[in-house]
């Protein structure tokens, strides 16, 4: 099964906290990504020349699902981490059952 980790980018002119980018990279490394893992640039549906996010895709395991649940449980209410982990878990579960 393929899982993905995705980072939503802010609107042009807005800022992205460096910590959000660091968490994205740390999360990807914990999931098995390394320096050779491709980083996919995500374009907007209505205009694919507009970058709206970054994504890393990789083959996932049961352990990945457990890690996502642990992240949701331990993120101390950080809404960005909660949303990201919940979205990843939902995507993984809907791909594996649909």
59 vs 68: CA distance, rounded Å = 14
- Where is pLDDT greater, at 44 or 61? 44
- The region of weakest confidence among 20-24, 39-43, 46-50 is 46-50
Give the count of alpha carbons within 13 A of 5, CB side only: 27
Averaged over 31-36, what is the pLDDT? 83
Q: For residue 96, report the phi and psi dihedrals to the nearest 5 degrees.
A: -80, -20
pLDDT reported for residue 61: 67
Give the count of alpha carbons within 13 A of 98, CB side only: 6
pLDDT band at 91 (very low <50, low <70, confident <90, very high): confident
With a cut of 70, say whether residue 58 has pLDDT above it: yes
Chain mean pLDDT for the chain: 82
53 vs 65: CA distance, rounded Å = 22
- Express as a percent the part of the chain with pLDDT over 90: 30
Q: For residue 94, report the phi and psi dihedrals to the nearest 5 degrees.
A: -70, -30
CB neighbours (10 Å) of residue 10?
Answer: 11
């Amino acid at each position: 099964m393929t899982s993905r980790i995705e980072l939503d980018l802010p609107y042009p002119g807005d800022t992205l906290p460096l910590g959000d980018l660091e968490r994205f990279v740390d999360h990807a490394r914990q999931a098995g990504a390394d320096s050779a893992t491709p980083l996919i640039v995500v374009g907007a549906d209505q205009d694919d020349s507009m970058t709206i996010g970054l994504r890393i895709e990789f083959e996932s395991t049961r352990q990945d699902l457990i890690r996502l649940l642990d992240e949701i449980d331990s993120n101390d209410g950080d809404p960005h981490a909660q949303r990201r982990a919940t979205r990843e878990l939902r995507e993984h579960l809907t791909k594996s059952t649909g």
